[in-house]
Structure 1
Amino acid sequence: MSQPTQLPKTSQLNEFSTLELAQALMERLSISPNDWHRLKSNRNSRAREQAAAALVFLLKDQPQEALARLEQATGWLDRTISAPPCPTHGHGGKGAGD
């Protein structure tokens, strides 16, 4: 008879506040400068990034900021927004990574 799969231990997570956990999630889901060109148009990555930011603002009792981030996340998912062009392109000079 096989043993049941054990869930990861959450005791270490209990040491952190809900806000700290949300901030860690936001940091984990944020697109790094090194990945920006590769992921700037990735709808799931952008929506995750914005939804995590919304959670942080909700936990900080800033509902208007949270709503703005949730609207951004929704826009990425329903394709009503797209990534703006890179500011270093088309301005006569070469930017980093060009």
Structure 2
Amino acid sequence: MSQFTQLPKSSQLNEFTTLELAQALMERLSISPNDWHRLKSNRNSRASEQIAAALVYLLNNQPQEALARLEQASGWLDRSISAPPCPSHGEKR
């Protein structure tokens, strides 16, 4: 049995453009400020966020921006990049 389910062909998703669907996906996968500390190093969350952004750029005919996001996603998945430290931590007052 597949882990993916198919939507019915009469789905209401047909009312939206591909770009609108991609933008909704990007919004859904974006890490909110409230979740930043919890998810900033979560490789799947960070890669998903970047891949969704890449799709939006690609659909907006901005392939170079899409490629940059895909490279970031790849870096998260292959562990070649990590989250930088939070700028508000370690500040001297």
So what's the TM-score if we normalise by structure 1? 0.85
Give the distance between the partners of 1:75 and 1:45, measured in 2 at CA.
13
Match of 1:74 in 2: 74
Give the distance between the partners of 1:7 and 1:80, measured in 2 at CA.
34
C-alpha change, 1:90 and 1:57, in structure 2 (3 Å) is same
- How far does residue 7 in structure 1 lie from its aligned partner after superposition? 4.9
Q: Say whether residues 1:38 and 2:38 are aligned partners.
A: yes
- How far does residue 8 in structure 1 lie from its aligned partner after superposition? 3.5
- How far does residue 50 in structure 1 lie from its aligned partner after superposition? 0.1
- Partner AA of 1:89 in structure 2: H
Matches within 5 A, 1:12-23: 12-23=12-23
So what's the TM-score if we normalise by structure 2? 0.89
State the structure with bigger RCO (CA 8 A, min sep 6), 1 or 2. 2
Give the distance between the partners of 2:71 and 2:54, measured in 1 at CA.
9
Structure 1 stretches of at least 4 aligned residues deviating more than 3 Å after TM superposition: 6-10
Q: Say whether residues 1:26 and 2:26 are aligned partners.
A: yes
- Partner AA of 1:26 in structure 2: M
- Partner AA of 2:56 in structure 1: V
Secondary structure, counterpart of 1:81 in structure 2: coil
- How far does residue 91 in structure 1 lie from its aligned partner after superposition? 1.0
Matches within 5 A, 1:52-71: 52-71=52-71
- How far does residue 26 in structure 1 lie from its aligned partner after superposition? 0.3
- How far does residue 77 in structure 1 lie from its aligned partner after superposition? 0.1
